[in-house]
Amino acid sequence: MQIAIDGPAGAGKSSIAKSLAKELGILYLDTGAMYRAVGYKAMKLGIDTLNEEKVSAMMDDIEIKVIYSETGQHIILDGTDITEHIREPEVSINASNASKHRKVRDKLVAMQQEIAKETDVVAEGRDIGTYVLPEAEYKFYITASAEERAKRRHKELCEKGKNTDIEKLAEEIKARDYQDMNREYAPLKAAEDSVLIDTTNLNFDEVLSLILDTIKDKGKRNESN
Q: Name the helix (H) or strand (E) containing 221.
A: helix 204-224
Cα separation, 123 vs 17, in Å, equals 7
Hey, which residues between 150 and 189 contact ligand DC (CB under 6 A)? Answer: 176, 180
Based on the shown chain and the rule CB under 6 A, indicate whether residue 148 belongs to the binding site for ligand DC. Answer: no
Q: Name the helix (H) or strand (E) containing 66.
A: strand 64-69
Q: Name the helix (H) or strand (E) containing 69.
A: strand 64-69
Nearer to ligand DC, 148 or 180 (CB): 180
Residues 6+ apart with CB under 8 A from 39: 49, 86, 91, 92, 93, 94, 95, 96, 97, 98, 99
Name the packing angle between helices 102-118 and 32-45 (round to 10°).
140
Cα separation, 200 vs 202, in Å, equals 6
Selected from 11, 19, 20, 31, the binder of ligand DC by CB under 6 A is: 31
The window from 73-81, 91-99, 195-203, 209-217 that contacts ligand DC (CB under 6 A) reads: 91-99
Hey, which residues between 114 and 133 contact ligand DC (CB under 6 A)? Answer: 125-127
Least distance from ligand DC to the Cβ atom of residue 86, Å: 8
Least distance from ligand DC to the Cβ atom of residue 43, Å: 13
Nearer to ligand DC, 160 or 221 (CB): 160
Based on the shown chain and the rule CB under 6 A, indicate whether residue 35 belongs to the binding site for ligand DC. Answer: yes
Selected from 99, 130, 143, 194, the binder of ligand DC by CB under 6 A is: 99
Residue 37-66 contact track with ligand DC, rule CB under 6 A, x = bound: ------------------------------
Cα separation, 129 vs 172, in Å, equals 25
Dihedral angle over CA of 186, 65, 31, 106, nearest 10: 10
Size of the site for ligand DC (CB under 6 A): 14
Selected from 19, 32, 75, 215, the binder of ligand DC by CB under 6 A is: 32
Based on the shown chain and the rule CB under 6 A, indicate whether residue 12 belongs to the binding site for ligand DC. Answer: no
Binding residues for ligand DC (CB under 6 A): 9, 31-32, 35-36, 92, 95-96, 99, 125-127, 176, 180
